[in-house]
Amino acid sequence: MAMHARASMARQAFARLSRRIAEIEGRSVCLPAHRARLPFSIRPLDAMLSGGLRRDALHEIRSTTTRDSIAAAGFAVALLVRLGMGDHRPFLLVSEADALGEAGHPYGPGLERFGLDPAKLVVVRSRRPTETLWVFEEALRCRALAAVLAEIRGHPRQLDLTASRRLALRARESGVMGLLLRQAGAAEPGVAATRWHVAPRPAAILDDFAAGIGRPAWRLALECNRNGPTGIFDLEWNHGSRAFALAEPARPALPLSRASLSGDRPHPSADAGTIMAFRRAS
């Protein structure tokens, strides 16, 4: 028994030493199979992604129009919530001024209601795309973070194929997930492991309460997947269980009962006809 205990302690010490050497040399640290990917827990979607999103990779999330950027941001936050369920490290959000001006600033109580602890979120505000990409790349080097989310509007010239390669390389080296959130951005060449087009979807009625607000729902188009398959999925987010689910087909609102008119109401007034403010010219 003592020999087995000493052998186990030696293996653990060797594993710690290997990880430390990899960190010093800037190499990626191999994660266990169950931690290497972030699953959606949606069987057909996870099958396309070989088990889920790679944690040590860059992923792009885009919206076609500015008004859809809130939906795209909601999907990105849901991914952070899922990531944080098994990882206690904080997240970093870097947003440029134009993106904040269109979509607004992060709102702590809303994030908490969505399932994300605001205390785990470090927010950086930048003025120009150059600053946003610099912070994004440098933050991806930091293994003390679980993920970095960068929000950029439109098509800045700085976000070219070279910049995309650099971001993907940093995520691969550190094992920190990179999420590039693009407001009103068209599909462009890049090296992201996945690219998602997000559009809002009507929320389903909860408990037949037509006047209520249903769960957040999206139509997700997996446009690019390094594993090969792509597809379209309608998902909704349950902030209580912090889980995705396939969205149910939209149901028509239930008819509301209306009180009948009383029988002693006065008769409506007669038609007053056409009233002219000025006399017609002869």
DSSP 241: T
Kindly compute the dihedral angle of the four CA atoms of residues 17, 23, 26, 29, in this order, to the nearest 10 degrees: 80
Per CATH, which fold does 55-198+222-230 belong to? Rossmann fold (3.40.50)
Q: What is the pLDDT of residues 2-23, one digit of tens each?
A: 555 565 555 556 555 555 555 4
Q: Find out whether 215 and 75 touch, Cβ atoms under 8 Å.
A: no
Q: What is the pLDDT of residues 132-169, one digit of tens each?
A: 999 999 999 999 999 999 999 888 889 999 999 999 99
Cα R_g (the chain), whole angstroms: 26
Neighbour tally for 153: CB within 10 Å: 23
Angstrom distance (rounded) from CA 49 to CA 46 = 5
Q: Please give the mean pLDDT across all residues of the chain.
A: 82
Q: What is the pLDDT of residues 44-93, one digit of tens each?
A: 999 999 999 999 999 999 999 888 988 999 999 999 999 999 899 999 99
CA dist list (Å): 83 to 15, 79, 177, 278: 24, 6, 9, 72
pLDDT of residue 271 exceeding 80? no
Widest distance between CA atoms in the chain: 119
Phi, psi values for residue 209, rounded to 5°: -100, 95
